Amino acid sequence: MASAVAAGLLAGCAGAGGAASSPRGGAVDVLMVNNPQMVELRKLTAAHFTKDTGIEVNFTTLPENDVRDKAGQDFANQAGQYDVATISNFEVPFYARNGWLRPLDPYAAEDSTFDRADLLDPVRRSLTADDGRLYGVPFYGESSFLMYRKDVFAEKGLTMPAHPTWHQVADLAAAVDGARKGMRGICLRGQPGWGEVIAPLTTVVNTFGGTWFTKDWQARLTAPEFVRATEFYVRLVREHGEKGAAQSGYAECLNGVVQGRAAMWYDATAAAGPLEAAGSPVKGRIGYAPAPVERTASSGWLYTWAWGLQKASRNPDKAWKFISWASGKEYEALVGREAGWAGVPAGKRASTYESRPYRQAAAAFWDVTRASIAATDPWRPGTQPRPAPGIQFVGIPEFSDLGTKVSREISAAIAGRQSVATSLRKSQKMAERIGERYRSR
């Protein structure tokens, strides 16, 4: 194992990467998350993009955590194993600062079919680094919202408020818990990982008035607001959430809702696609409400999977052609025709929400989604100014480690193995160390 670590490092040292360059010199190597929208892209690429341009694309698809690790490693060492990787608005600021990415403005400006002005403002800004240049092109954007079973609510004579508060949601979860056999009140992520349990939890913390760090890098994980939010979340998921919550992430909750094991679900707006897809047993039965709030006007997160072009890429021009095609209007129409409009990688272009077939297919959720994304502000997600951008995360490279370590403590609290107070006390110590590092800079 040590030697495996070493082998990876050796590659980094020598500056020559794992050199898994494709057998055909001109192919574009793409590393991406195995989300449904990307799986669809993989299916459509050969028959359309490669056929039209003659450019081969080799895909590597992995789960989210693994993509992050692999991309982080490959880009940090400029190993050039992948030309393009799905990175997010979390990575873009510091990937760009470290000089690992190519600025994409020149390509976008020259590409007449791309239409940069069509990109949604908050999404585009979240992929723009300190130097004002664009370093990622969004494939799809998402916020978070509350999904609920309209049919179950109707049976129980319950109504979802137009702008629910978290306490209302907790009462509703109690009321619908057990409405059908094996149906729990709500599904909330509990699986460890900074991109799993920490994301929804942090939006709850924001709207309860808490924050990870103050403007001057003081860690605030044991502040009353943070504690109240975490206790609320953990209690809700323990009392009315899914079973096995400490091992349930996005994928598990999606399965649970599709199979009728949860009456509500607070998660990514991108989840609406698979829920409303043809063949989904809950298609047409789901209602959508904005992310629940307490002390802020909105609390949805902002997240986008975007294409980052590695600086060390050997075929940047071909890679851009692929990016431009995958993130273009044409591709959205193609998915609409081939796989149904509900599965379109939305949340990045204004034109998507103007298109009639999309509005019809996404009738239940397009409006809530667009409004949620429009309401986000990564610099002011809560009730106080922040030292770094980010709504459901803190936009610093150390957060992947800190968030993951904290997530394990939270997971242990969800599993009932320790109290929330203990979890946060341990977490505060870890966060303080990071805060000190930034204060002394």
Partner 1 sequence: MTAPVTAGAAARTGNPPRGAARRRRKRGTSSWAVRAPLLPALVFVIAVTQLPFVATLVLSLFDWNAFHPGGRRFIGLDNYAAVLGDTAVRDAVVTTTVLTASVVAAALVLGLALALLLDRRFPGRALVRTMLITPFLLVPVAAALLWKHLLLNPEYGLLNGALTWAARLVGDGDAPQPDWISTAPLIAVGTALVWQWTPFMMLIVLAGLRSRSPESMEAARMDGASEAQIFRYLTLPHLRRYLELGALLGSVHIVQNFDAVFTITSGSLGTANLPYTVYQIFYQAHEYGQASAAGVLVVLGSLVIAAVALRVVSSLLRGEASRG
In the complex, the residues that contact partner 1 under the rule CB under 8 A are 1-3, 5-10, 12-13, 69, 72-73, 76-77, 94, 98, 182, 191-193, 242-247, 256, 259, 261, 397-398, 400-401, 404-405, 407-408, 411-412, 414-417
What is the Cα 117 distance to its own chain's centre? 23
Nearer to partner 1, 352 or 400 (CB): 400
Residue 334 Cβ, how far from partner 1 at the closest point, in Å?
A: 33
CB atoms within 10 A of CB 397: 15
| Cα distance between residue 369 and residue 355, in whole Å | 15
Nearest residue (CB) to partner 1, 106 versus 244:
244
Looking at the Cβ atoms of 346 and 413, the one nearer to partner 1 is 413
Q: Which is nearer to partner 1, 231 or 398 (CB)?
A: 398
CB of 102: closest distance to partner 1 in angstroms? 17
Alpha carbon 377 to its chain's center: 15
Q: Which residues contact 197 (CB under 8 A, 6 or more apart)?
A: 189, 190, 191, 249, 407, 410, 411, 414
Query: Which is it for the CA torsion 41, 46, 48, 52, positive or negative?
Result: positive
| Nearest distance, CB of residue 306 and partner 1, angstroms | 18
In whole angstroms, how close is the CB of 275 to partner 1 at the nearest point?
18
| DSSP assigned state of 340 | -
Closest CA to 83 of 330, 326, 271: 326
For partner 1, which is the closer residue by CB, 141 or 389? 389
Let me know: does 273 contact 180? Beta carbons within 8 Å. no
With vertex at residue 139, the alpha carbon angle to CA 128 and CA 264, rounded to the nearest 5 degrees, is 105
| Nearer CB in complex with partner 1: 86/369 | 86
- For 380-416, the three-class secondary structure string (H helix, E strand, C coil) is CCCCCCCCCCCCCCCCCCCHHHHHHHHHHHHHHHHCC
What are phi and psi for residue 197, nearest 5 degrees? -65, -30
Rounded to a whole number of angstroms, the minimum distance from the CB of residue 263 to partner 1 is: 14
Smallest gap from residue 406 Cβ to partner 1 (A): 11
Query: 309 - beta bridge partners?
Result: 84
Show the CA angle centred on residue 290, arms to residues 404 and 159, nearest 5°.
120
| 3-class state of residue 138 by DSSP | strand
CB-wise, 209 or 390, nearer to partner 1?
A: 390
Place of tokens 């050039």: 80
Q: Give the whole-angstrom CA distance, residue 141 versus residue 23.
A: 33
Nearest distance from residue 192's CB to partner 1, in Å? 4
Minimum distance from residue 70 beta carbon to partner 1 (Å): 9
CA–CA gap between residue 324 and residue 94 (Å, rounded): 23
Q: How far is the CB of 424 from partner 1 (least distance, A)?
A: 16
Minimum distance from residue 63 beta carbon to partner 1 (Å): 10
d(CA 166, CA 190): 17
Q: Assess contact for 111 and 320: CB atoms under 8 A.
A: yes
- Our CB check for partner 1 shows the closer of 295 and 405 to be 405
Nearer to partner 1, 376 or 407 (CB): 407
In the complex with partner 1, which residue's Cβ is closer, 29 or 196? 196
Q: Which residues contact 313 (CB under 8 A, 6 or more apart)?
A: 80, 83, 84, 102, 319
